[in-house]
């Protein structure tokens, strides 16, 4: 009787371990598929041009993820305007870099008024309508005795706000929208 009990417990442990292994593999594969289908839009390069009192900033946007980024919007605090793109494709044949132009004249608030927290905000959606935000810090630098400020943008340390859906939501997203579209 003792051998049957031990054999039953060992069999139950083996079946449980195999089930947990396959369940863990299934969850991991689903999360990897979902992550591969998400966009990852970033400002990858920045250049500036100064002409008199006008400073023009040229941020270069690129999608480093595997999915298409929709309804992309770039906005800078202290600049009256925005730059938008309907779709940004991932790297590959359709992948390209988009260059925005932010013209900051001598009357732009970010050039004339010292701000406590300057930023560039990059907002976009994935194919399921989930919102992503990427914030880059902007520092104002005084220009000698002139009343205007130049800006420095920190591309190395963006603040990311990404959606974190549950496993079941990821599975639902992957099943409702074909990845080829």
Q: What is the CATH number of the domain that holds 53?
A: 2.60.40
Query: Would 67 be classed as within a structural domain?
Result: yes
Would residue 2 count as lying in a domain?
no
- Rounded distance between C-alpha atoms, residue 17 and residue 6, angstroms: 16
Instruction: Determine, yes or no, domain membership for 17.
Output: no
Question: What percent of the chain is modeled with pLDDT above 70?
Answer: 94
Separation in Å, CA 114 to CA 17, 69, 111, 138: 61, 33, 8, 12
The reply to whether 95 falls in a domain is yes
Asked, for residue 5, whether it belongs to a domain, the answer is no
What DSSP element (H or E) covers 94? Answer: none
Give the domain range for residue 41: 37-176
When divided into structural domains, the chain yields a total of: 1
Answer whether residue 10 is part of any domain: no
Tokens matching residue 34: 């979902």
pLDDT band at 105 (very low <50, low <70, confident <90, very high): confident
Report which of residues 157 and 143 the model is more confident about: 157
**pTM of the predicted model, to two decimals?**
0.83
The answer to the question of residue 13 being in a domain is: no
Q: For residue 90, what is the DSSP state?
A: B
Q: Which of 122, 124, 152 is nearest to 135 (CA)?
A: 122
Residue with tokens 């992503």: 132
Q: Is the pLDDT of residue 52 over 70?
A: yes
Residue 19 counted as domain residue: no
């Amino acid at each position: 009787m003792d051998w049957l009990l031990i054999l039953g417990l060992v069999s139950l442990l083996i079946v449980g371990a195999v089930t947990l292994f396959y369940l863990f593999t299934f969850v991991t594969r689903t999360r990897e598929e979902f992550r591969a289908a998400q966009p990852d839009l970033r400002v990858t390069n920045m250049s500036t041009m100064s002409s008199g009192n006008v400073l023009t900033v040229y941020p270069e946007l690129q999608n480093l993820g595997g999915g298409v980024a929709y309804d992309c919007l770039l906005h800078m605090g202290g600049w009256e305007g925005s730059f938008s793109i309907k779709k940004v494709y991932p790297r590959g044949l359709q992948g390209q870099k988009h260059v925005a132009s932010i013209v900051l004249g001598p009357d732009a608030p970010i050039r004339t008024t010292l701000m406590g927290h300057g930023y560039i905000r990059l907002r976009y959606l994935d194919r399921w309508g989930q919102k992503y935000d990427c914030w880059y810090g902007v520092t104002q630098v005084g220009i000698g005795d002139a009343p205007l400020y130049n800006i420095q943008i920190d591309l190395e340390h963006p603040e990311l706000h990404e959606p974190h859906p549950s496993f079941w939501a990821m599975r639902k997203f992957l099943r409702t929208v074909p990845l080829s579209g």
